[in-house]
Every structure is written in structure tokens, then in C-alpha cells.
Amino acid sequence: MPCGSPRLVHANGVALQAYQWGAPGGSPALLLHSLAAHSHWWDWAAPLLAERFHVVALDLRGHGGSAWVEPPSYRFTDYVADIAAALEALGWRAPLVIGHSMGSYLGAYLAARHPARVGALVIADMLTSWSEALNAYAQAQAARPRAEFASPAEAGKRFRLAPPDTRAPAEWLQHLGETGVQERAPGVWTRVFDPQVFLHPPIDPWPFLPQVAAPTLVVRGQGSVVMDRAAWQRVAMAVRRGQFAELPSAYHHLVLDDPPGFVAIVTKWLAGAQKETSP
């Protein structure tokens, strides 16, 4: 798989793992993954974006190769503070920020709290509400014993998406499983996220979305069960400069289901947005 070049970013007192593609000095693009995921979810979309951008995918605190926080502190404000500090460490002023699922929630929150830090924003299949059922699920996930594997290959074979709908090839899911574990003890491999990340605050983007001033594209997978059409259109109307697009034959994990289609939608929209703002 075309994994990016690894680099470590020290931000907000946390060591954050990142991966980069493309030539440094080019137009910057920051990629933010979903909950309990990691930056390798971008291994197919990032190389396509790198044809036009210097791309950096960031492992959020408690995820991937980034540090786990003790005592656990996985509030949305914590993540956003890390991301803002990471942009400072990278020397980036106003990049394109693309987030998927929780990553898009954080990208929007970043754009609302630090408007000068975001030049343009892509919200991809974001959850927009919280329920008792979702809260119970999160509590259960945080309390589950950590799965253990004898090798990355075993982790890859056992890897499953949630929600499960996807068009991604089996070998891509195998790759995500293999890159999503670390050897915590000799011969014992576990997932690279702290289970406590599930204990985030309730999802509620509606108070801060009207503060998002950057040009914003809201994208959903046509078959998504996470962001329905009503929420998709409502988000695009809630931000100040929103547009929306739908990726056909894709589900919630749209950056895996159709990376070329996703990147084509983003780059076409961005070209139009740049024309609107050019003198």
C-alpha cells in the first residue's frame, strides 16, 4: 500500500504521529481520521491528493502511533487544541482540512474556534446527533477487554468495519487491520487506540457550525446510515459558505469505498471555491 512518509509532531504537550505525501512547500492539506481509526485509512485517497497538495494525515491523541493520555482526556476541545498546535508546528497557516466522521466534526470545530487556521473545509459523512443507544454503545466499547492477536496478519484477517457496509476490497481491509495494531508485549498485538476514546462528550455540532466561515463542502456516501440526507443538507446550510455533494454507490466509509471519486469531488469543488474568492 502507498503509505506516507512518517514524521512525529510534538503539539500541545502530546507526541502525535503523522504521515505525509507530496512535496513539502506545496499547498497544504490536513487529513483527520474517524473515531477508533488511524491515518492509514487515508492510504488510498492521500496519494491522489498529493498530486496537487502537500498532504499530512494526523493520528489523533489516543489513536494510531500518537500518545495515549493519562489520565484519559479525549474531549473534542482536547483534539482541537492538538490539531491547532500541530498546524503551528508544521508552519501551516490556512490549509485545506478534510475530515471523515469524527475527523470532520473536529475539522468543523477547529474552523469555528480557530477560523484563521482553516482555509477550506471538507466534512465527510459526519454524525450530527447523539442518543441513549449511542451512549450505551460507547460505554460498552470503552469497557470491552482489548482484543489480542498473535500477529498483524491475524489482526488483518479479523478486522471488520463499523458500520460494516463498504465497497472496499478485502485486501484494503486487511491492510487497515495490519497497520492498526502494535506489539504491546512479546507476541501480543493489540489495537492502536485507547478504548477510552469512546468516552467523548455527546455529539452536538449545531451550536458551532454557524461560526464556520471557511468555504465548506459537505459530502456523504449515498448509502450512509450515519449521515442521512436531511442532516447532510442541514449541515451545508448551517455553515456560512456551505455546499454539498453525494458520492454514489458509497457508504459511511466513503474514503475507502471510492477514493478517486471522493478526491475528484473535493478537487472540483475546491477549484470552484477558489475561483469565487479570487479577485
Read off the pLDDT of residues 114-152 as tens digits, 9 standing for 90 and up: 999 999 999 999 999 999 999 999 999 999 999 999 999
Mean pLDDT of the chain: 96
Does residue 266 form part of some domain? yes
What is the arithmetic mean of pLDDT over 28-57? 98
Does residue 184 form part of some domain? no
CA distance linking residue 34 with residue 114, whole number of Å: 20
Predicted pLDDT at 175: 97
pTM above 0.85, yes or no: yes
Count of C-beta atoms within a 10 Å radius of residue 202: 11
Does residue 269 form part of some domain? yes
The total domain count for the chain is: 1
Does residue 150 form part of some domain? no
Does residue 110 form part of some domain? yes
CA distance linking residue 60 with residue 62, whole number of Å: 6
Does residue 182 form part of some domain? no
Asked whether residue 278 carries a pLDDT value surpassing 80, the answer given is no
Domain span including residue 214: 5-140+197-277
Does residue 163 form part of some domain? no
Tell me the CATH number at 81: 3.40.50.1820
